[in-house]
Chains A and B, each alone.
Chain A
């Protein structure tokens, strides 16, 4: 098992490395190209960073400064204020007097606003970036309704199975070689025997468990079925969907019994305090392990969620992509588009990295040799995937994701026997939704 993962990871990485070397040769040409794309753009640019904390603002300011240094165009950066409020108020932000460029999330949250004409078409800018932008990210940024891109991907993070290597060793599993459902069941049984929680889950926020649902769906039924299901082209009442819930229900005996009372922070704490075997999440909290001790951080590991159906293996992953959009109602949309493009280019990402950004970058030319073992493993995790999901609440309409699917998953966790009822209700709720304007 372990060999398979490693081989796969290595081969992916080698391919990426090859691309990086090939790309280096084209570096001069690439810079020329990107400056070609921005010839119509001039005048100062305003830029909203979707962040409010010190590091985020510092990185955003570094982007603005580096852009000014390279092109001579002034960029005024501002923080978004409370990020949740910014996300909730994005419609008003874009209809009012938005800044020319702003940091945003790929997927439905971009495409919906693009369909309303609030965002600038960035397809040309994506084309300008050429081979710098890996194909997976281009497809992740593409709006299905018109095939164009409205966001320049910059950073991303994978949702994977996190666990402690030491715990795996204790129960006799290869700590880096968890591959399929058999391994996963061994993990659950082994940790349960030790008196730990096998698979810790929290769903207080209503979104945490969406990750588990999505990954089970793509492992059982594949990426296409999952996206179809979320967008009304497949039925929630289909046996395939019910199978997903059945698989989910089979994991419940290995879970903590206060799933609805804890949020993702509770899940993290269970792993941090060695009270559980594994959790499925993005690894944005990895620094908390570092804060506890370097030893704990070195103990932390991530693998793709195990294979269930060999037909789909581990070909899909949740990896929400963040990026930069340009607002159509702004004072200088062309300037915003050029700046967005630059943020996605090698130069932009190097500027962010120099300012201390530790995210994973969506640019094939970036050198990953400075990454620590855990971050390299994250690269390997995504390297194995052919399809990238943006997380459930970014892959479908927002009035369906949170208020309906999120709530029904909570209902399911409360009463796992109600699967049929839950699927019927979810389908009925989808059918009752008004068409999107």
Chain B
């Protein structure tokens, strides 16, 4: 009897707790969703409508004209392909170097393993604005050295390299914590069987790294795709810039049609959204990867 009562009490308490948590999560979901929904709502309204009646007015017309205009003005396919010309090799190289590094720091024991890892992760802590000025000088200097200033500055190569340099630390960090969960015995048997270091990495460890590689590639593609800073400062030619800078085409020097800009922003965000929904599972697992053992 008393057991049942206790059980009921417990269940009620649990229900209240659940309701509380759900409403809390729901509240935050709303906070996160409102700006996106507001952008979407704005993108459907004509500029003249807003100028005449204010932002919080009831609209007379809702249409997709802003999307058609933004599509025409943004030259979207050219900029989109620029984005991927930068993002794909950058992600590929980051994962390659990151996995190599993670492999060495976890499978072989050096004295300075930890420091190496720290050093690579520490690079991410510097604000990019601080790195920018010396990097610019360096790119020009390297360019002068080989007799072509545009070898790194104003070229895809330069942007790809800086992305790789900045992201490799995080990739190493995630992959090394994942690798620590792979039993040592696998490596030992590989060595006993006479596998070379590279074979050990390529044929034994790399196939086991599929989950973190998938998660990281999704994360990094979206990060690099959304990145704006390097593309603006290191690329001088507008026709080499990525999609994020194409949004600037929708802005005037003084007057900005925010409705048009909203439509453009939604379109520019579409690829990341598609990537997210297609690879949602990898995305979520990426966030908790290696968190069980570190």
Contact = CB atoms under 8 A, between A and B. Distances in A.
Interface centre among A50, A51, A97, A288 (most CB of B within 10 A): A97
B40 interface: no
Contacts of A54: 73, 249
A268 to B, nearest CB: 9
Given A79-B249, A97-B153, A284 B255 contact: yes
Contact of B52 (A56, A93, A292): A292
B239 A52 contact: no
Interface in B136-153: 136, 140, 149-150, 153
Interface of A: 50-54, 56, 78-83, 85, 89, 92-93, 95-99, 264, 272, 284-285, 287-288, 291-292
A12 to B, nearest CB: 27
Top 8 A-B pairs, shortest CB-CB distance:
A82-B248, A85-B232, A284-B254, A78-B238, A97-B149, A79-B238, A53-B252, A52-B248
B73 A78 contact: no
Contacts of B51: 272, 288, 291-292
Contacts of B253: 50-51, 53, 56, 83, 284
- Give the size category of B's interface with A: 20 to 34
Contacts of A89: 232-233
B250 A53 contact: yes
21 contacts: A51-B253, A52-B249, A54-B73, A79-B238, A80-B238, A85-B232, A85-B233, A89-B232, A95-B136, A96-B153, A97-B149, A97-B150, A97-B153, A97-B154, A284-B254, A285-B254, A285-B255, A288-B255, A291-B47, A291-B48, A291-B52
B52 A92 contact: no
A85 B253 CA distance: 11
Contacts of A285: 254-255
B237 interface: yes
B232 A81 contact: yes
B281 interface: no
A308 B275 CA distance: 63
A288 B51 CA distance: 8
Nearest to B139: A96
Contacts of A272: 51
Contacts of B232: 81-82, 85, 89
Contacts of A99: 236
Contacts of A95: 136, 140
Interface in B211-245: 232-233, 236-239, 241, 245
Contacts of A284: 253-255
B251 interface: yes
Contacts of B48: 291
Interface of B: 47-48, 51-52, 73, 136, 140, 149-150, 153-154, 232-233, 236-239, 241, 245, 248-255
B153 A53 contact: no
Contacts of A98: 236
A97 B236 contact: yes
Nearest to B244: A82
A93 B236 contact: yes
B245 A81 contact: yes
Nearest to A93: B236
A205 to B, nearest CB: 11
Contact of A96 (B136, B238, B255): B136
B227 to A, nearest CB: 14
Contacts of A288: 51, 255
A381 to B, nearest CB: 19
A322 B250 CA distance: 21
A110 to B, nearest CB: 17
Contacts of B241: 81
A272 B48 CA distance: 13
Contacts of A96: 136, 140, 149, 153-154, 236
B26 to A, nearest CB: 32
Nearest to B133: A92
Which of B47, B241, B251 has the largest count of A CB atoms less than 10 A from its CB?
A: B251
Nearest to A285: B255
Contacts of B254: 264, 284-285
Nearest to A77: B238
A50 B238 CA distance: 11
A96 to B, nearest CB: 5
Contacts of B154: 96-97
A288 B245 CA distance: 26
B233 to A, nearest CB: 6
B236 A287 contact: no
B251 A82 contact: yes
